[in-house]
């Protein structure tokens, strides 16, 4: 194939030229891309362009012969099993976002010894769109519940900023070993990482969690509703442990102690129950995720009252 003149799509509005090429020609090396720019083989609307140029819908990009760079060797297509699985998790979908109910044990992104994760299955959530949705926030691997995905760049930028600035109301449910002395309140305790674990440290970063005890079993267990007003790593887990009420099944912050008491605590009992996006989209939009089976069974076993089951 020879030179192509490619029109910028509306979905790529505002994308930098270098990122546009990375998206559509993933096999194109940075060195070759820069050389093509210097030699004016890449142009936008017939003019020499800079790598950082932000594209507008309808602009025409001159693309030299790059057929071999349109794909990356070794990239695997999503199998039927994973396709069916990731689509079975969808709990909400509109033109802007997709929300899934992530199960406990499934990582959001890959890492050491983690090959199966949400990020690797996003191609299965394109539906009628040309692009896969984008991650805009994360929840821990062992935490279940609502995970929001943006369906285009505009919504991705908007939501990423909102999550970063903590403008969204997120509500978690936690089953704790022990009952808070004050049934409703705020936990203000600065956090920092100490020897691979987050801990309450006087010189740490500001961290605030609001909580409310929904129901309890004597002084042994409590079903707690918690909302982080800041976004520190493992914030709810550390804060609840800090007030003497560690989350059942939390090996990292409860450890071996919980195994002496809780035979059903083979998973973390922390669930991202709902998220309020009303302020973002100027309409009532609260997305909630049903509780996983192990959480429901524990609540029934302990006789806790919760209408959301």
Residues designated catalytic: 140
| DSSP 8-state assignment for residue 232 | -
**In angstroms, rounded to a whole number, what is the distance separating the alpha carbons of residues 68 and 37?**
18
Region for residue 58 given its phi and psi (left: phi exceeds 0; alpha: psi -120 to 50; beta: otherwise): left
**Distances from the Cα of 253 to the Cαs of 34, 85, 110, 177, 309, in angstroms?**
49, 31, 23, 12, 26
Please give the biggest Cα pair distance in the chain: 76
Closest CA to 172 of 85, 268, 298, 293: 268
Residues 78-104, buried b or exposed e (16+ Cβ, 10 A)? beeeeeebbeebeebeeebbbbbbbeb
Cα separation, 260 vs 276, in Å, equals 38
* Residue for token pair 């083989």: 41
Angle at 261 between CA 223 and CA 174, to 5 degrees: 20
Contacts of residue 50, Cβ cutoff 8 Å, sequence gap at least 6: 17, 37
Q: Tokens 């369906």 appear where?
A: 151
Separation CA 100–CA 87 (nearest Å): 8
Phi-psi region of 291 (alpha: psi -120 to 50; beta: other; left: phi over 0): beta
């Amino acid at each position: 194939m020879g030179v192509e003149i490619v029109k910028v799509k509306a979905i790529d509005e505002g994308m930098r030229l270098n990122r546009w090429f990375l998206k559509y020609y993933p096999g194109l090396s940075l060195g070759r891309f820069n050389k093509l720019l210097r030699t004016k083989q890449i142009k936008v609307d017939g003019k020499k362009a800079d790598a950082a140029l932000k594209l507008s819908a309808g602009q025409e990009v001159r693309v030299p012969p790059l057929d071999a760079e349109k794909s990356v060797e070794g990239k695997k297509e999503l199998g039927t099993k994973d396709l069916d699985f990731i689509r079975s998790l969808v709990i909400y979908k509109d033109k802007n976002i997709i929300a899934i109910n992530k199960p406990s044990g499934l990582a959001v992104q890959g890492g050491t010894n983690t090959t199966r994760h949400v990020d690797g299955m996003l191609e299965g959530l394109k539906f009628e769109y040309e692009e896969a949705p984008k991650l805009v926030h994360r929840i821990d691997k062992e935490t279940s519940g609502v995970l929001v995905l943006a369906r285009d760049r505009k919504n991705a930028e908007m939501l990423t900023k909102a999550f970063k600035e903590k403008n969204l109301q997120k509500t978690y449910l936690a089953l704790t070993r022990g009952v808070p002395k004050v049934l409703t309140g705020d936990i203000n305790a600065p956090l920092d990482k100490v020897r691979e674990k987050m801990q309450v440290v006087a010189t740490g970063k500001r961290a605030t969690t609001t909580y409310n005890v929904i129901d309890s079993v004597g002084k042994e267990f409590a079903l707690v509703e918690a909302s982080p007003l800041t976004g520190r790593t493992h914030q709810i887990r550390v804060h609840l442990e800090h007030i003497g009420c560690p989350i059942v099944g939390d090996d990292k912050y409860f450890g071996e102690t919980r195994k002496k008491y809780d035979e059903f605590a083979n998973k973390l009992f922390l669930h991202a129950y709902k998220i309020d996006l009303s302020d973002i989209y100027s309409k009532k939009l609260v997305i909630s995720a049903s509780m996983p089976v192990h959480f429901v069974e524990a609540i029934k076993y302990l006789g806790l009252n919760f209408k959301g089951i």
